[in-house]
Amino acid sequence: MPRKIDADECISCGVCADVCPEEAISEGEDVYEIDPEKCTDCGTCEDECPVDAISAE
């Protein structure tokens, strides 16, 4: 399953987008978003998010 960003937790720091090897994360209208079609569920973004906003669905 692709990872998901909790919009209530995300502080839009951009770290996840920088570390994603698949370039699956981009800045959305309010917070960052993960494209489920590109995400390979590697877990890197979840490890790097400073506020633990990312989790497996």
Among 11, 28, 55, 57, binds ligand SF4 (CB under 6 A): 11
Tokens (6 digits) for 5: 């960003």
- The total of other beta-carbon atoms located within 10 Å of residue 17's CB is 17
Beta pairing class for 32-34 and 54-56: unpaired
Min. distance of Cβ 33 from ligand SF4 in angstroms? Answer: 9
Among 4, 30, 33, 51, binds ligand SF4 (CB under 6 A): 51
What is the torsional sign of CA 30, 41, 20, 49? positive
Residues near ligand SF4 (CB under 6 A): 2-3, 5, 10-16, 20, 22, 24-25, 31-32, 34, 39-45, 49, 51, 53-54
